[in-house]
Amino acid sequence: GADGAQLGIMPTQEALQFAEEQGFDLVEVAPNERPPVCRIMDYGKYKYQRSKRQQLAKKKQKVILVKEIKLRPKTEEHDYQFKIQHVKRFLQDGHKAKVTVIFRGREIAHTELGRRVLDRIIVDLEEEATVEQMPKQEGRNMTLVLSPRAG
């Protein structure tokens, strides 16, 4: 019924006529059930309320961006500290941070240097971040993904 009351099992034509007499629509809610479950409601009003709920949910959702910084295995101390400050700011803003160490030329033979840089970042940022993806080698890049620590 229009008020949510159970009307029982009835033929489709009879249900359509009953809904039309009340000025509502007959809407099939569960078509796969035996017998199919229908509901008497104002379908236009239902669609409007559903779109409003979706808009509200979309408005309240938080978009998390993945910000990236790039380093080299031989990055100097000052530049390293500068980049760490950027990562801290990204994490404080609620974004994820992707740290990439790029190997050029013959540096690829010494991936342990890049791994050492990423391990140092993990230690330096253990209070601000959790490691979402451990350092992983992908071609000439080694990447690490950090997410902000809850609380």
pTM reported for the whole predicted model:
0.59
**43 belongs to a structural domain:** yes
Decide if 144 contacts 135 (C-beta within 8 A): yes
**Does 70 lie in the same domain as 143?**
yes
Is the Cα torsion angle 122, 123, 129, 134 positive or negative in sign?
positive
Q: What is the CATH number of the domain that holds 129?
A: 3.30.110.10
Decide if 126 contacts 69 (C-beta within 8 A): no
Q: Is the pLDDT at 46 greater than 70, yes or no?
A: yes
Domain coverage including residue 30 = 12-59
Q: Report pLDDT for 151.
A: 65
Q: pLDDT tens digit string along 81-111?
A: 999 999 999 999 889 999 999 999 999 999 9
Whole-angstrom distance between the N-terminal and C-terminal Cα of the chain? 48
**74 belongs to a structural domain:** yes
